[in-house]
């Protein structure tokens, strides 16, 4: 008999749970999803024509994240410019 390398590809195809992750280990096959579908609610929020950009549609938390990001960006730019100015001064 010939001996050689073993095939790395499995000879059996995995079940649909292994491919799509439709159930969790240890749960019966009937309990495939344990939550509610939030997509329709989020579609209503993001498709509403209220003149707001999409990154500010969800209200106060989005505004705070946006303002924090802008403050860090402006502060970082100012810090870099000051550091470059100080580094360019003769000693």
**Sign (positive/negative) of CA torsion 60, 62, 67, 69?**
positive
User: Residue 31 in contact with residue 22, Cβ under 8 Å?
Assistant: no
Domain ranges in the chain?
58-90
Q: Which distant-in-sequence residues (6+ apart) come within 8 Å of 66 by Cβ?
A: 55, 56
pTM attached to this predicted model: 0.51
Report the pLDDT value the prediction gives residue 36, as an integer from 0 to 100: 85
The pLDDT tens digits along the chain (91 residues) read 556 666 665 566 666 555 555 555 555 555 566 688 888 998 898 898 989 888 889 889 999 999 999 999 999 999 999 999 999 999 8
């Amino acid at each position: 008999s010939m001996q050689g390398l073993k095939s790395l590809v499995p000879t059996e195809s995995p079940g649909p749970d292994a491919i799509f992750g439709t159930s969790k280990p240890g749960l019966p096959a009937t309990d495939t999803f344990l939550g509610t579908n939030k997509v329709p609610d989020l579609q209503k929020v993001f498709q509403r024509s209220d003149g707001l950009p999409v990154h500010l549609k969800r209200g106060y938390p989005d505004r705070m994240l946006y303002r924090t990001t802008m403050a860090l960006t402006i502060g970082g730019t100012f810090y870099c410019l000051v550091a470059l100015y100080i580094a360019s001064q003769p000693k």
